[in-house]
Chain A
Amino acid sequence: MATEGLAPPIAVTRTRPAWLESFAGQLLALLASFGIALLAGSLLIVAYGENPIDVYTSIFDASLGSADGIGYVLAIATPLIFAALAVSVCFKGGLFNIGVEGQYLVAMITATVAELNLDFLPGPLLVPAVLIAAMIGGMIWAAVPGILKVRTGAHEVVTTIMMNGIAISLVGWALNGPLHQNDAPEGAFVDLRTNVFPAKGLAGDLGAMFGVTPGAHLSWLLFLAIVAAIVVWFLIRRTRLGYEARAVGSSPGSARAGGVSIGATQLRLFLISGALAGLIGMQLILADRGYLPLNYVVGLGFTGILVAFLGQNNPIGIVFAAIVWAILSRGEVALQVSSQVPREFIIVLQGLLILTVVITYQIAKRRLAARQLQRAGLAGELEDSDAPDESAGPRGPEGSGSETFEPADEKRA
């Protein structure tokens, strides 16, 4: 057009494609942070007078050393996958759904209601109905902070956490009131819980097929979780909604100027996230117990957040991260049995891992960006305006400085 002659064809890149480089970089960072965390953990172990190798080996044995162990690990990982996926979907759009915890509590209530009231349905229909009820419960609970965010701009971190608090009370009320069990024999002492669900409405045990003890409660919910991960991947990478969500999460002004409705996108993300969150509790009530107990598992939502960060908010990464987390959790049992180190050490190790991963991820991201920038500049087309784009934008009087300001002396007084 403006320059004489034809523009050169787009270079066939014989260099590594960007995604591979980023993948390799992230993998390296992950391994490095794993190493650092294990190292730091070793120091604590030594403080307890134990040998780190012994401790880590026993964790490994308990988790991956037997078919049973693997079964336990995968069963623990299943709800975590749902939780982390729920968090990551919102995160892609720049939203922090900390309310996953409350969403799965409410979902367990709606699922229970479905189980106990739709029991006239045959098994193959009952179970999907229950799952849908769970997802609806999660969606409703996520819709509240979602709508508040879109309408009033209320920060979702605070509202979702408040919703968590409300949900806890709600479950307590439901279990003490309308859903209180009425199928216990006279005078028998049982934990506070709902009625037992019909057998056809449960998630069948998968363990038998693989030689895993039924005590692990490994069920086909695992496959559902993996399918969910694939669906989420596809949603984020290959659909309009995923595209718009990423644009909104990354650059809301440009997304808006391009015609994307920020509010609609955000709301949709909350709903999808809520639906995924709803499935978290299914492992407990459909595979494990067969009813909703008062001493339900607490904290899966929050753990899901950690797993999401560990997995870099990437569906594939999340599946692996959930398994890693589950391995460590399973290790708690090993420690209890055979070591001086208290089981709480596992929590600290998990915390260390998260911190190191989050930090090394940042470092890796920046290195990668700098390298990409460098390569773009050196690709041989040094134009006049190839200098870092200093004057983009009219930020005159408001003064927020140029984008590529290198901090020469940021750390000096």
Chain B
Amino acid sequence: MPFTDIAVAIQISFTYFTIIYLTGLGGLFSERSGIVNIGLEGLMIIGTVTGAFGARFFTDTVGLGTVWGPILGLLFGALCGAIFASVHAVATITFRVDHIVSGVVINLVAIGLARFLSYAFFNGQSTQSDPGGPHLARLDVPGLSSLPGGLDRAFERLSPMVVVAALMVIPVWYSLYRTRWGLRLRSCGENPEATRSLGVSVPRYRYQGVLLSGAFAGLSGAFLAAEVIGSWREGQTLGLGFIALAALIISNWNPIRLMFFAWLFGFAVAIPLRLQDAPVISLLPEQFIRMIPYVVTIVAIAGFVGRVRPPAAAGRAYEGGGGT
């Protein structure tokens, strides 16, 4: 089967697309409202530990079965992400702490908090949970899963969340560009003074943006831990939160473009996982192959940066005027 390897790599890339895209969407809402959120990694981490716990809890302990159990587990991860994000929100919106500073703190505290939660959730284990947790049944994409040459592998046994993530673009795009809520949210990020002068509450929409970012990133983390790996492991987010941030920047904060770049980076992540024996790549030592996603991200962001236009007021503390 000549294309098996690359097909499996594509299959893996869909998974990582899901993770990067969902996290990226979270970042999108936050930044569009004017709050820079580099704590996406930390929010994902919270999502991983709570999602892994939630999946087991709702499936086994509460006994909801293998459909609703994992689903509630994912939602639990999203909820916890949102709660944790509220810290960032309060710090940056109410107390006008520098956005980057707060984001860094979020990331670092998340690592410690995850250990603490793990200790509580997983019987005193603080860096991992038991493997083999429950997850949603995998699907085969009809039609595409009978492609010849090994290509069928690319579309087999995908988590339904992949489809959910891909379809997210519709409600996200619609809410941002065709609703009153979206108009107001975006104006908070472009010109909070203008927004405020028209009587719209800037803090309110920014809180919503940040909480949404927590929910999406938490969902993404929960997906990673519960659905992809099957357990929680410290460090399993691998910098994906930052890769998502890079993808968001390169896609010019556009949810449609983000799909493409999230997939592209997802593929870069898949390379060390499956394509170690591919031509050219196999010439590199193993550890260097693992560097590929990071190098790709750096090259992409260095190359694209000049051509993107962030929301004009993102990062400036809003106090009706200048920044910190």
Please report A residues at the B interface, Cβ cutoff 8 Å. 96, 98, 148, 152-155, 157-159, 161-166, 169-170, 172-173, 176-177, 299, 302-303, 305-306, 309, 342, 344-345, 347-348, 350-351, 354-355, 358-359, 362-363, 366, 399-407, 410-413
Q: Is the CB of A162 within 8 A of B302?
A: no
A-B pairs with lowest CB-CB distance, top 4: A347-B112, A351-B109, A173-B287, A405-B320
Q: CB distance B321 to A161 under 8 Å?
A: no
Kindly state the separation between the CA atoms of A176 and B306 in the bound complex, as whole angstroms.
39
**Residue B144 at the A interface, CB < 8 A?**
no
Inter-chain CA distance A403–B320, complex, in Å, is 8
Binary interface encoding of chain B residues 89-126 relative to chain A, with 1 for a CB under 8 A from any of its CBs, else 0:
00100011100111011011101110110010000101
Is the CB–CB distance between A98 and B104 below 8 Å?
yes
CB-CB < 8 A to B112: which residues of A?
Answer: 344, 347-348, 350-351
Residue B301 lies at the interface, judged by CB distance under 8 Å to chain A: yes
Residues of B near A410 (CB, < 8 A) are: 196, 201-203, 319-320
Cβ contact within 8 Å between B201 and A411: yes
B46 is an interface residue with CB less than 8 A from chain A: no
> Digit string of B184-214 for contact with A (CB within 8 Å is 1, else 0)?
0000000101101001011110000000000
Does residue B291 face the partner (Cβ distance < 8 Å to A)?
yes
Closest CB-CB distance, A199 to chain B, in whole Å?
Answer: 31
In the assembled complex, how far is the CB of residue B196 from the closest CB belonging to chain A, in whole angstroms? Answer: 7
Alpha-carbon separation in the docked complex, A279 to B97 (Å):
30
Q: Interface of chain A, helix or strand or loop or mixed?
A: helix
Shortest Cβ distance from A411 into chain B, in angstroms?
Answer: 6
- In whole angstroms, how far apart are the Cα atoms of A270 and B293 in the complex? 24
Question: What A residues does B8 contact at CB under 8 A?
Answer: none
Q: List 11 A-B contacts (CB under 8 A).
A: A162-B298, A163-B298, A166-B295, A306-B105, A344-B119, A354-B108, A363-B95, A405-B320, A407-B196, A410-B320, A412-B201
Question: Contact at A401–B321, with CB atoms within 8 Å?
Answer: yes
Residues of B within 8 A of A401 (CB): 193, 320-321
A362 touches B96 (CB 8 A): yes
Residues in B neighbouring A309, C-beta threshold 8 A: 101, 104-105
Q: How many residues of B contact A (CB 8 A)?
A: 57
Please, how many angstroms separate the alpha-carbon atoms of A166 and B242 in the complex?
14
CA distance A266 to B297 in the complex (A): 22
- Minimal beta-carbon separation of A333 from chain B (angstroms): 15
Alpha-carbon gap, A374 to B105, bound state (A): 33
Which B-chain residue is minimally distant from A159 (CB atoms)? B298
Q: Is the CB of A342 within 8 A of B119?
A: yes
- Interface membership of B246, Cβ < 8 A: yes
Q: Are B105 and A358 in contact (CB under 8 A)?
A: yes
B257 CB, nearest partner CB in chain A, Å: 17
CB distance from A189 to the nearest CB of B (A): 23
Within 8 A of A (CB), among B284-312: 285-288, 290-291, 293-295, 297-298, 301-303, 305-306
Other than A161-B239, A302-B108, A348-B112, give 6 A-B pairs with Cβ distance below 8 A: A154-B301, A159-B298, A165-B291, A344-B115, A403-B321, A413-B204
Instruction: Name the distance in Å between B318's Cβ and chain A's nearest Cβ.
Output: 8
Residues of B with C-beta under 8 A to A306: 105, 108
List the B side residues contacting A153 at CB < 8 Å. Answer: 305-306
What's the nearest-Cβ distance from chain A to residue B67, in Å? 33
Measured between alpha carbons, how far is A348 from B87 in the docked complex, in Å?
14
Q: A162-B297, A163-B298, A400-B193 are in contact. Are A407 and B320 (CB under 8 A)?
A: yes
Instruction: Verify if B38 is at the interface (C-beta below 8 Å from A).
Output: yes
Closest to A351 in B: B109
Which A residues are in CB contact (< 8 Å) with B288?
169, 173
Complexed CA–CA distance, A190 and B270 (Å): 33
Rounded to whole angstroms, the CA-CA distance of A159 and B321 in the bound complex is: 30
A407 contacts across to B, CB distance below 8 A? 196, 319-320
Smallest Cβ distance from A296 to chain B, in angstroms? 15
Q: Are B116 and A342 in contact (CB under 8 A)?
A: yes
A153-B306, A159-B302, A401-B321 known; A354+B109 contact, CB < 8 A: yes
- The residues of A that contact B297 with a CB separation of less than 8 Å are 158, 162
Task: Pick the residue among A98, A154, A347, A413 that contacts B116 (CB under 8 A).
Answer: A347
CA distance A175 to B288 in the complex (A): 13
Q: How near does chain A come to B89, taking the closest CB pair, in angstroms?
A: 12
